[in-house]
Structure 1
Amino acid sequence: MSLLALAVASLALSQSASATIDAREAERLEACVAKIEIDPEEAYEDGLTWTYQGNRPGARQCTALALIALGREDEGAARLEQLANSVDGGTIDQRAEYLVQSGNAWLQAGAPEAAIVTFTNALKLKPDTPDLLVDRASAHLMLGQWSDAKKDLDLALALAPGMSIARQFRAEAHLNLDQLDAAMADVEAAMISDPENIDTLVLRGRVREAIRLSEVRVLSPDIID
């Protein structure tokens, strides 16, 4: 899920939490998020002005998201983590959303280790959440931590068997663990729900090639002198 999509989800949560963020602040956050798509520099300036006017959580979130859109992903990620841990960070759901946004920003910044820490903290707030497990698995995959990724994806699919992206990611883990039959099974399951996904089609080709090479090795063992 994109960071701006996550921001919209976070906004929906904030609108229902009137004890934490009032309707006026929610409207201002919505306007700021919309501006990020058009002019992130101006959105950042608006966020700073809003922060100086009262340092509200919405202002800090807007500023952090604008920084991410401006290519300063690590700074934006760190600010979202601070917001999640702040006294006025809001409800558990809101804090979890800030951490999700932060984790995805860390991934964009090429810092999967930091993303794993952040997603793990989000899972402490919202355990057994399939999307969060898939997010953390993606960070493990970036680091080549195939077994750790598979554990997260196994749980995600136990909770939500129809998640195509989880099947795709687990196929990648299976492939790198040389579990080729399991990799193909996951690829085929992913294609049932999303047959036109280019990444899955490319992955299917890689799995097929790995199976072909494994069969060649079996049929043509090395000759030992």
Structure 2
Amino acid sequence: MTIAALLLPFALMQAAPPPSADSGATRFERCVAAIDDDANKAYEDAMIWAYEGQSLNAYRCAAMALIAQNRAEEGAQRLESLGMALNPDQPGLKAELFSQAGNAYLLAREPARARSVLTRAITTVEADPQNLPDLLIDRARAYAMEEDYRHSEEDLSHALDIRANDALALRLRAAARMHQRSFELAQADAEAAVRIEPDNVDNYLILGHVRESIRTGEPVNEQ
């Protein structure tokens, strides 16, 4: 997963007015952009910025730089701590930080910790259902990594109830159903994902796995 993918995992907040040239938001954007060029230097610059002003965005950028240095677990811990420390009156930002932490824990192959922090994110925004699908999809990935396919399927079904025709959710649910030997339902999901995103090779891959599972009677190991 790229740093850009971790930056804004889902659209939680209303569009804000364009920031001024000296705003913390602009500095954060520059800091994140620098990570792809030199993650070590971006981390050092972010920590200097944090020392100067104790900015949450500075610490957030530093955590993201750690993830880019293949120190995903350390970056996840920092993002989770930032989310825990944030005031409850900023639920959107709080959920974003938890979402980033959850994705970083997935990168670190720590699905239980990912599931826990993503549950916090879901609880934070559950009063606004339109913001839930991406979080539910991410938590479903954590469940699947733990081989808890029943709960993975439940989260994906919930996400699809809110946002129908999501090809990623359908593809992941096809895999979860395949592993539970619900082969016909898995095939229906995989075929739906192909119809929605006919250019995405991943959809054809899971459809092929499901068809092979039907042929052999055993789920295909996707690892």
Aligned letter for 1:191?
Answer: V
Mark the CA change 1:11 to 1:168 in structure 2 (over 3 Å): closer, same or farther.
Answer: closer
The aligned counterpart of 1:80 is: 79
- Pick which of 7-16 and 131-140 moved more: 7-16
Q: 1:152 aligns with which of 155, 158, 165?
A: 155
Aligned-residue offset at 1:29: 0.5
What corresponds to 1:49 in structure 2?
A: 48
1:4 equivalent in alignment to 2:4: yes
Q: C-alpha separation between the residues in 2 aligned to 1:151 and 1:172?
A: 13
Aligned residue number for residue 66 of structure 2: 67
Structure 2 unaligned regions, length at least 5: 218-223
AA partner of residue 37 (structure 1): D
Instruction: Provide the alpha-carbon RMSD of the alignment.
Output: 2.5
Q: CA deviation at 1:175?
A: 0.5
8 A contact 2:171–2:193 mirrored in 1: yes
CA distance in 2, matches of 1:97, 1:87: 11
Match status 1:112 vs 2:115: no
Gaps of 5+ in 1: 215-225
**Structure 2 equivalent of residue 92 of structure 1:** 91
SS in 2 for 1:162: coil
Kindly provide the amino acid, as one letter, of the partner of residue 150 in structure 1: E
Are the counterparts in 1 of residues 167 and 192 from structure 2 also a CA contact under 8 Å? yes
Instruction: Output one character per residue of 1:10-64: Cα deviation in whole Å (capped at 9) or x when no partner.
Output: 899598399xxx9611111011011011111111010110111121101110110
- Separation of aligned partners in 1, 2:151 and 2:117: 16
Are residues 76 and 14 of structure 1, via their aligned partners in 2, closer, same or farther at CA, if it must alter by over 3 Å? farther
Q: Does the 8 Å contact 2:152/2:173 carry over to 1?
A: yes
Aligned length, in residue pairs = 211
Query: 1:14–1:94: 8 Å Cα contact kept in structure 2?
Result: no
Distance 1:114 1:9 in 2: 18
Secondary structure of residue in 2 paired with 1:121: helix
Deviation track 1:76-104 (CA, whole Å, cap 9, x = no partner) reads: 10101111111468721011101111000
Specify which of 149, 173, 179 is matched with residue 176 of structure 1. Answer: 179
- Partners of 1:73 and 1:15 in 2: CA distance: 29
From 205, 211, 215, give the equivalent of 1:212.
Answer: 215
Cα distance in 1 for residues equivalent to 2:121 and 2:214: 37
Fraction of identical pairs, as percent: 36
Q: Does structure 2 conserve the Cα–Cα contact (< 8 Å) formed by 1:57 and 1:88?
A: no
Deviation at 1:126, TM superposition (A): 1.2
8 Å contact kept, 1:130–1:156: yes
Q: 1:3–1:135: structure 2 CA closer, same or farther, 3 Å change rule? A: farther
**Contact 1:6/1:97, CA 8 A, preserved across alignment:** no
What secondary structure, in the 3-state scheme, does the structure 1 residue paired with 2:70 have? coil
Moved more, 166-175 or 86-95: 86-95
- Paired letter, 1:117: S
Quick check: which has more Rg, 1 or 2?
1
SS at match of 2:58: helix
Is 1:11–1:30's contact at 8 Å kept on the other side of the alignment? no
- Does residue 202 (structure 1) correspond to residue 208 (structure 2)? The answer is no
- Supply the AA of the counterpart residue of 1:85: M
Q: Is the 8 A contact 1:29 1:59 kept in 2?
A: yes
Which TM-score applies when normalising by structure 1? Answer: 0.86
Q: Which residue number corresponds to residue 221 of structure 2?
A: none
Contact 2:143 2:152 (8 Å CA) reproduced:
yes
1:57–1:89 contact (8 Å) kept in structure 2? no
